[in-house]
Amino acid sequence: MKRRTSPADRANRPNRSYTLIAGCVLAGLIALLALVSLVWLPYAADDTSGGRLTGPAADHLLGTDKLGRDLFTQAMTGSRIAVEAGLGSVLVAAAIGVTLGVLSAFAQGWLDDTLSAFLDILIAFPTLLLAMLIVAARSATLGSAVLAIGLAQSAVVARLVRILVKRVLAQDYITAARTSGTSWPRIVAGHVLPNIWPTLVVNLALQFGLAVLAEAGLSYLGLGAPPPNASWGRMLQEAQATFTTAPAGALAPGILLVLLVIGVNLVADGLRDTLDPATRRRRA
């Protein structure tokens, strides 16, 4: 859908790049924490040398949990798991979703109705429920969680891709390419994918945030990465009982989670405006 850019919108444009920068800084900080955790952690994951439920102090930046383990160490590990969960799920969702979406965009008539209705039902089926089933069918590991979240999200990606591809296929240059004898696979690779990728990348960035939230929800229910891998969701679950006595453990993982998701969403917003200025669509 084409939309004229009003002068007021244009005046807002410079602010938008700040969105991208702010998002990159937030998400980058968490990503940095995750990268550092790969090579260095303040304490070992099973080090219970600290006092139980101590508050934040110099040697334990966020205090300790009820077993005396360092919460900052767990939070760092949690950031690694969150980033892994987000990246992994988005990869699964993109691989399945793009393939399914492109294929269903070529469907016509009742097949088209059926496919889009099937995707609608799948989308209405909450990620978490599907994930619970898959995790129960396999086992509670990060891999199961990632696979489940990615599968659930692939329906959303597929529907988006389907709409985008249909829109491109209706263009005159596709008819022109067909008339000049270009094969469908070449049209998809040469015309369709290059035209849909800006919107796709933005949506995948949003899915990253949702995947991080879903993984946290699964681990909160005890269906995520098993101990001693401290996922933020499991940290929160463990800290729930001691919220009033040791609030740091119940607040810090949540704040990190919110920062990462907001950061990624801001990156998505910023990308939308930089990558896709012509068909810029406002989103709330």
Binding site for another protein (CB under 8 A): 3, 6, 8, 113, 116-117, 120-121, 123-126, 128-129, 132-133, 136-138, 159, 163, 209, 213, 216-217, 220-221, 233, 236-237, 240, 243-244, 247, 250, 254, 257-258, 261-262, 265, 282-284
CB of 49 to another protein, least distance (A): 28
Q: Which residues of 180-212 are buried (b: 16+ CB within 10 A; e: fewer)?
A: eeeeeeebbeebbbebbebbbbbbbbbbbbbbb
Rounded distance, CA 169 to CA 187, Å? 9
> CB 238 → another protein: shortest distance, Å?
11
Angle at 238 between CA 235 and CA 243, to 5 degrees: 100
- Nearer of residues 50 and 209 to another protein, judged by Cβ: 209
Quote the least distance from Cβ 236 to another protein, whole Å.
6
Q: In the complex with another protein, which residue's Cβ is closer, 43 or 271?
A: 271
**Taking the complex as a whole, how short is the minimal distance between the CB of residue 54 and another protein, in angstroms?**
19
Please state the closest distance from residue 208 (CB atom) to another protein, in A.
12
In 61-207, DSSP assigns E strands to: none
Q: 5: which DSSP letter?
A: P
In the complex with another protein, the residue whose CB is nearer, 77 or 265, is 265
Cβ of residue 272: shortest distance to another protein, in angstroms? 13
Which residue number, 17 or 245, has a Cβ lying nearer to another protein? 245
Cβ-Cβ contacts under 8 Å for 199 (sequence gap 6 or more): 160, 164, 272, 276, 279
First to last CA, the chain: 17
Between CA 48 and CA 228 the distance in angstroms is: 12
Q: Are 191 and 168 in contact (CB under 8 A)?
A: yes
Looking at beta carbons only, is 55 or 247 nearer to another protein?
247
Whether 165 contacts 192, CB under 8 Å: yes
Nearer CB in complex with another protein: 41/107: 107
Residue 228 CA to residue 234 CA, distance in Å, equals: 10
